[in-house]
Structure formats: C-alpha cells, structure tokens
Amino acid sequence: MLQMRPPTPEPVLRILRICSNDSEIFKAVRRQDISRIRKLIVDGKASVRDVNEEGESLITVALTLMISYDSSFFRELKHLGGDIFQLDSRLLSSYLYFWRPVLLDRQSRPSDQLDIFGSEVELDHFQFTPLHAAVLGLDPDGATPEEVICTTPRGLINELDQLGRNALSWACAKGDLRKIEKLLKMGADPNIADSEGRTSLHLLAHIHHLTHSNDSYERCLDELLDHGADSNVRNRRGGTPLHDFTLSRTCTASSIEKFYLKGADLNAQDGGGWTPMNWAVRGGNIEVIEKLIQHGADLEIQSNILGITPLTYALVRHQFGTFRYLLERGCNHTVQTQFGSTLLHFSARDGDIDTLRYLEQMDLRGINPDNRDEDDLSALERAERRRDGVYEWVDLVSHEALPDAEPQTWFEAFLALDRKLRTLQAEVR
C-alpha cells in the first residue's frame, strides 16, 4: 500500500531587501498607514523585513522618526512578521530604539506598549551604576542627580554599563548641559567609546539628529571639545563625530567651524568611503556645505564603493538645489569613477527630468559622451535601458527608484543633453 508522505517543508530564503527611504513602504510607515503597509505586503510589493539604506527595519524607522507610540500600529507590524530584535547595520534593534527615548526623556509608556517592547524590569540588562541611574533620572535612592555626581569617587566616574558607556556618554546622548559640565569637572572621559565605537561626541551628534531640538547642544559641543574630546575618533563603521554632525539636519556652520578649529579632518572617509561633505549633501544643508568648502573640503573624493562624489551624490539623491549649488560653485563635473562612469552615466541612471533640462543649459565641456562604464555601456545605452524598463527588477530588489511618469519624455530630455555634450566635444576638437 502506497503511503502518502507529508509534504517536506520547503526551505525559505529570507533576504533583507534594501529600499529607498522614499519607497512606498517607508512612506506608509511615516504616515502610520497600516492599511497601505498591509496591502503592499500582501501584493508582494514590499516585505515586513524590508530595510532602508541605513539597514533600519519598518518598526525601527517608525521609532526613530518619533512617530507617536500607537500600540495598535506596532502590534500590527509585529503581527505581519516584524521582529523587534532584528538588527540594523549598526547592530541595533527596534527594542533598543524603543527604550532609548524612555531612558533619555523619561517618557511614560502605557502598559500595552510595554507588552510589545518589554517591561522596565528588563532594564537590569543594561547594568547601570548609581551614577548612570542619576544621569538618566532613574531615582537613585532619592538623591538628586547633582548629589550623586558630586559624591561619586573619581575612580568610579568612568564606570561602564552593558553598552560600554560611562555616565557622560548618556548625559551627552540626553544633551544635558548641566550634567555634562559637572561630569567633566569630576574627570569624566569624553573619549570612552561604547560597544559601537561611539564616543560622547558621536552620541551628542546622533541624538541631536534624532530629536531635531536642543538649544544648548552648541554649548555641549564646546564643553566636550574644550575638555579634549577627539574630533577624529572613529566608530565601528569608520565614522567620525563630524560625519554624524553633518548628517544632522540641524547642524550649523558654527558647529563646523568649531570642529575645524579643533583639527577635525574634513575629508575623513568612513567605512564606505563617505566624507562629511557627502552627508551634508544628503541632508541638503547648504549652509554647512558652504562652510566645509570654505575650509577646504575636497569635492572630488570618491566613495570607496561606487566612486560617487558629492556632486553625483546630490544627483542620485535628487537633491536638485544642492546639485545646482555645487555646480555653480565650480564643482568639477568631469570627474569619472575608476570604472569610467561620468556625470552623464549617473544622469542616465538616476537623474530626473528637471536635472537633465538644467544640465542642458550648462557648459559641461570635458565630459565624453562616448565613455563606457564598468558594464561597457555608454551613458546613452544606459538611458535606453532605463527608458525600456530594464532596471525595473533591479529597483524592485535594491531600492524603489523615483518613477518616470513619461519615460519617452524623459528620454527625449536625455537625448537633448547628449546632443549638447557631443556639440561641445566637437567644438573642442
């Protein structure tokens, strides 16, 4: 008698697909539109395991964007398969992202949210000392934070918690000027690095980037730099504090000036080859870009991975205002990658129609339209592939590119630019 064997479980390959921050799934997360998120996932156009360019999950992005902690929203994301312990590229999880604002701001959380992210009892995992607890406002035996700081023996002022942070690290993460001043006076070391390699300067920049508000943070920066904080120290991803500060949308030219005067390397490249200028371009912060240029930041440094310069990065990120500013400041448009890709190749792959029409009006002598890239393609051949939808599957897997409403109209704009460059090249000959 033939026996039917139960079906063998099929192996499932789980891939963290990297999506643009402008993709539909992350737009829906920012709107807290759970119906749209569910539809995108059910239709196979997105996955609950999708991550953005920083490796952050849907849940983490919702938390880092300071979306209100609606328990039903996060509960539904978990029901769809979201994992609060999924690590991003910085080896952080949404679990930690949930608790960090609680620790930094002492924000209360309803019990139904604690059911999702764990109860406060689990904070024992962080191994806080009484000094950490005082800085974080965790009721250290009824004493005021100032009393605990001032009575802590100097030999214990730099004790570390489970994350490798001393109390000063947390004070900087909170942007608490008074505690920073007192801890530094007691001998706290601003150059202690946590488990991610981040020092007090990194943490001050990072939390400022998340909260977008802290009027005293410039004075916090002054205190750290005046007490010997190293502005060139690297975190685990190779980033300096200046990388983190320039990424902040609220970074100012004054901050850049302070780093410059303390000897910060304005052209330092992180693990991906990105410079502070790249991050300033990403944020579209013209004031910061101008200050970096004023102090000699190199606009021709290429990233280690893609050979992208600040100019081509502005194009890829669709930062049209920044792109135009860099060109008008004389940024070298003739730089090409080690593989042969020119500004025209990047325009063919990532440029929108407004950028193409703007470039047609510029004098872009020096770009050879017949240059071939790593795939032995000219820029025109790349543009033809984009028009014909050849890149659609790549965009689906890697990121969701900005769609061309009328591919043929876009292609005609590219042809006009290509003809202009060929005319300029003929004039040179």
Distance (Å) of CA 360 to CA 10, 43, 314: 53, 40, 17
**How confident is the model at residue 49, as a pLDDT?**
86
Query: Is the C-alpha dihedral spanning 160, 164, 166, 171 positive or negative?
Result: negative
Please tell me the pTM assigned to this model.
0.74
CA 380/CA 373 separation, integer angstroms: 11
CA 49/CA 31 separation, integer angstroms: 18
Q: Which H or E element spans position 290?
A: helix 286-294
Q: Count of alpha carbons within 13 Å of 282, Cβ hemisphere only? A: 16
Query: Is the C-alpha dihedral spanning 373, 300, 320, 397 positive or negative?
Result: positive
What structural domains and CATH numbers belong to the chain?
24-117 (1.25.40.20), 231-325 (1.25.40.20), 333-429 (no CATH)
- Comparing CA positions, the residue from 37, 36, 20, 101 lying closest to residue 65 is 101
Distance (Å) of CA 250 to CA 232, 257, 269, 353: 21, 15, 22, 29
Instruction: Tell me phi and psi for residue 5, to 5 degrees.
Output: -85, 145
Digits of tens for pLDDT over the chain (429 positions)?
A: 333 334 444 444 456 788 888 899 999 998 889 999 999 999 989 988 888 887 888 888 887 775 555 677 888 888 888 887 777 766 677 777 777 666 665 445 545 455 566 554 456 667 889 999 889 887 656 788 889 999 999 999 999 998 899 999 999 988 889 999 999 999 999 999 998 899 999 999 876 555 545 567 889 999 999 999 999 999 999 999 999 999 887 789 999 999 999 999 999 999 999 999 999 999 889 999 999 999 999 999 999 878 899 999 999 888 889 999 999 888 999 999 988 999 999 999 889 898 999 999 998 999 999 999 989 999 999 999 988 776 544 444 444 444 555 788 999 999 999 999 999 888 766
**How confident is the model at residue 94, as a pLDDT?**
77
Helices (H), 32-93: 34-42, 58-64, 71-79
CA 130/CA 143 separation, integer angstroms: 10
**How confident is the model at residue 166, as a pLDDT?**
97
